[in-house]
Amino acid sequence: MTQHRKDEIIAQIKRGEKLDKSTIYDLFGGDEEDVFLFWNGRKEEVTNVALPFHSIEQIDEPRNEVSGSESLFDLRGRQLKGWTNKLIWGDNKLVLSSLLNGAIRKEIEEAGGLKLIYIDPPFAVGADFGFDITIGHETATKKQSIIEEIAYRDTWGKGSSSYLSMMYDRLRLMYSLLSKDGSIYLHCDWKKNGLLKIMLDDICGSNNLRNEIIWYYPDYLQGNVTKGFPRKNDVILWYSKSDNFTFERISEKLSKPVMRNKVFWNKETQKMDIVRDENGKIVYEEYSERYCDTVWHIGQTSVTRPHSNEFIGYPTQKPEALLERIIKASSNEGDLVADFFCGSGTTAAVAEKLGRKWIVCDLGRFAIHTTRKRLIGVQRERCKEGRDYRAFEVLNLGKYERQFFMDDLANGKLKAKEEQYIELILEAYKAQRSVGNPLLHGTKANRFVHIGPLDMPVTQTRLEELFEECRRLMVTGVDVLAFEFEMGLTPQYIQKLRQQGVDIRLKYIPTDVFDKRAVEKKQARFYDVAYLNADCKVKGRELTVSLIDFVTSYTQDDIENIELRAGNSKVMIDNGMIIKREVTKDGITKNTPLTEHWHDWVDYWAIDYNFENRKEIIRLANEQTGIIEEQWTGNYIFENEWQSFRTKRTPTLELSAPPHRYEKTGRYKVMVKVIDILGIDTSKVMEVVVQ
């Protein structure tokens, strides 16, 4: 660019004039590029943070017999070392950046590098990501959470530019994380195919586009389309990172055998040639299969018909046959594959069945819960068949993600961060700020509000201090908002405080509060803390654990994202009970309890028979030396040793676990975890003595 041209642009900017596209190209495209992809909001810098991951749960179905090296498995046959598959809950932008720049990067490299990424990102502006849940004997539709709605649907709020900005940052992080001989498959439809292809050309290089695959689903019922041809296909873009990439040709069976002329590779002509016999006649042979080309005929009925073995009821679920073809074609057994929009977990399930390692991630709480149940099912199948499988862990960025958001909001200023944190939570809770008492941060209606720490659980000691302060000021009601609560808190303890004159209610702060749009829309949900009760019976060295009660206090506000599917019925919630309200033909309003029993609230529960046996260790880079150092968080990893959960095929729940035998006598901490039908976790720790 000449100096004269530079002066012209500077003058334009000073005059406040809008720059035209050719000027923008001169500024950002440079003289070297033929084509420069630009949109409003494009940024060249990518997210560059390295937050440590919290391992909140370890899942490894015990083997019947210990196989392999004793150092690899413990006495129960549970995996002790080696690669552990990873199911990560969180914003994939932060997750990708932390995988790329953090301590897990070394684990990935030691596992051979990330060989394959498949993603099925959102590409439908008006898509409904709700899904079915079971309430008692009824089926209801659970809408997506507010944070999912904002992240997925409102991505299109500024048109294609906001969608491209969202995808560009994430695709560049994925590309950097991919091994040199790796591949990325991006699943999209006709709406965004053109834009995403140009973007991947920009990131991966157009010379690394290997195929544009048409996935045709002939069994999809489109309906009576009169203005245009029925749309019955999606597009899958396959890019490699270099010319050195894995590819295995995949065959598919023909509907019936065909006779075809036999061919061979002619070295002289360097092309395929027809085989002829000694008389010069063409040789024919019968074929019952063929190599797959770029048009894939794979039906969808396996994920749309409720009676199918694959059907989960998740709206974006894809057939396992589709992922099986991709994983077999572009990875080998033992390779590491990933999916950063994992949805119902199809990529992880197929990868596990095909002997691949995996990392999958999603923003949605229900996506993570659905995937966890699905992968436990795969573990059980493989265990029953005597086949190998790996343990997997559920990870998130926890308090470090919260600290990152608040540091960004306050520009790292501690005092400003503390005040802005309180203001943010109060705004999301629709409460007013109050001053004059450090423990009573706000008011809502006729109650006070206390906000727990950003990075620590609210403890019993904190509640006792709050209780004494309320007694002194003659405050009779206070809502305590926190991300975490100490596990020892019981309904009996809270009831004791109420009987002494202070009605304390515990509520979880949702991660939605860190999205400004969720707060502005006043749609963040603060769920009441639920309580569970379990019974432990010890007989010799055997322990039997039974789930005997689960108490919720959810309010009508908590149910706004649930709609009953059948007819025009409405769903109401009152003091922890979900009620279907319908009007009969006679005009009489009929109320039917859907949660007739406490266990109707429970979707999943699990047991760790030796909690506090395994410390949660995180790895952080030393700010001075850059060396990775291990630190104990003060928490323990929940080792999921037994679990019972509802599925579409098996909706019933076991309320007692089979007897567990301890190898040694002594005192043990037993942790029971429940996940309810709204996807909220509740835990309890109990101590047992084994003699």
Q: Distance between CA atoms of 155 and 165, rounded to whole angstroms?
A: 9
Residue 564's beta-bridge partner residues?
A: 140
Judged against a pLDDT cut of 90, whether residue 84 lies above it is answered with yes
pLDDT at 33: 60
The last residue of a domain, from among 396, 429, 461: 396
| The pLDDT of residue 7 | 84
The vertex-377 CA angle with 372 and 380, nearest 5°, equals 125
Residues 342 and 226 in one domain: yes
Q: pLDDT (tens digit, 9 = 90+) per residue, 555-613?
A: 666 555 555 444 567 777 766 777 777 777 787 888 877 788 889 889 999 999 999 98
Average confidence (pLDDT) over 35-44: 80
Quote the domain boundaries for residue 536: 531-554+603-690
Q: Is the distance from CB of 616 to CB of 57 less than 8 angstroms?
A: no
Kindly report the pTM of this predicted structure.
0.85
Q: Does pLDDT of 77 surpass 70?
A: no
**588 within some domain:** no
3-state secondary structure 111-134: CCCEEEEEECCCCCCCCCCCEEEE
Do 122 and 213 belong to one domain? Answer: yes
pLDDT over 60 at 374, yes or no: yes
**Residue 140 pLDDT more than 90?**
no
Total domains in the chain come to: 4
Q: Provide the pLDDT confidence category of residue 308 given band limits of 50, 70 and 90.
A: confident
Q: Is 670 part of a structural domain of the chain?
A: yes
State the pLDDT at residue 131. 56
**Residue 388 near residue 79, CB atoms below 8 Å:** no
pLDDT in tens, 381-419: 988 888 888 899 999 988 888 888 777 766 666 567 788
* Residue 72 and residue 26 share a domain: no
Beta strands 54-59 and 638-640 are: parallel
Q: Are residues 74 and 102 in the same domain?
A: yes
SS3 state of residue 367: helix
Range in 56-60, 295-299, 456-460, 649-653 the model is least confident about = 649-653
- Check whether residue 10 and residue 103 sit in a common domain: no
317 and 425 together in one domain: no
First-to-last C-alpha distance (Å) of the chain: 83
Query: Would residue 94 count as lying in a domain?
Result: yes
Q: Same structural domain for residues 448 and 334? A: no
Domain-embedded: residue 550 = yes
CATH code, domain carrying 204: 3.40.50.150
pLDDT value, residue 69: 47
Averaged pLDDT of the chain? 85
Range name among 29-33, 45-49, 215-219, 267-271 with the lowest pLDDT average: 29-33
Per-residue model confidence as pLDDT tens digits over 117-132: 999 987 654 444 555 6
Q: Give the three-class secondary structure for 673.
A: strand
Residue 464 reports pLDDT greater than 90:
yes
Q: What is the pLDDT of residues 310-367, one digit of tens each?
A: 888 787 899 999 999 999 999 999 999 999 999 999 999 999 999 999 999 998 888 8
Q: What is the mean pLDDT of residues 236-253?
A: 95
Q: What is the pLDDT of residues 436-450, one digit of tens each?
A: 888 999 999 899 999
Same domain, 81 and 223: yes
What is the CATH classification number for the domain harbouring 651? 2.60.40.10
511 domain residue, yes or no: yes
- Mean pLDDT in residue range 189-215: 93
Establish if 388 belongs to a structural domain: yes
Who has greater pLDDT, 26 or 156? 26
Contact 314, 131 (CB under 8 A): yes
Cα 460 to Cα 494: distance, rounded to the nearest angstrom? 10
> With 90 as the cut, is the pLDDT of residue 634 above it?
no
- Tell me what percent of the residues of the chain surpass a pLDDT of 70: 86
Buried b (16+ CB within 10 A) or exposed e, 558-580: bbebbebeeeebebebeebbbeb
Mean pLDDT of 143-168: 64
* Sequence letter at residue 486: E
Q: Are residues 79 and 116 in the same domain?
A: yes
What span, in angstroms and rounded, lies between the C-alpha atoms of 88 and 397? Answer: 9
In a domain, 258, yes or no: no
**Sheet strand arrangement including 666-676:** 642-645, 602-611, 666-676, 681-690
Among residues 396, 431, 458, the one where a domain terminates is 396
Residue 468 within a domain: yes
Same domain for 372 and 404: no
Based on the fold, state whether residues 377 and 417 are members of the same structural domain: no
pLDDT of residue 617: 87
- What is the model's pLDDT at position 34? 66
Res 635 pLDDT > 80: yes
475 and 344 belong to one structural domain: no
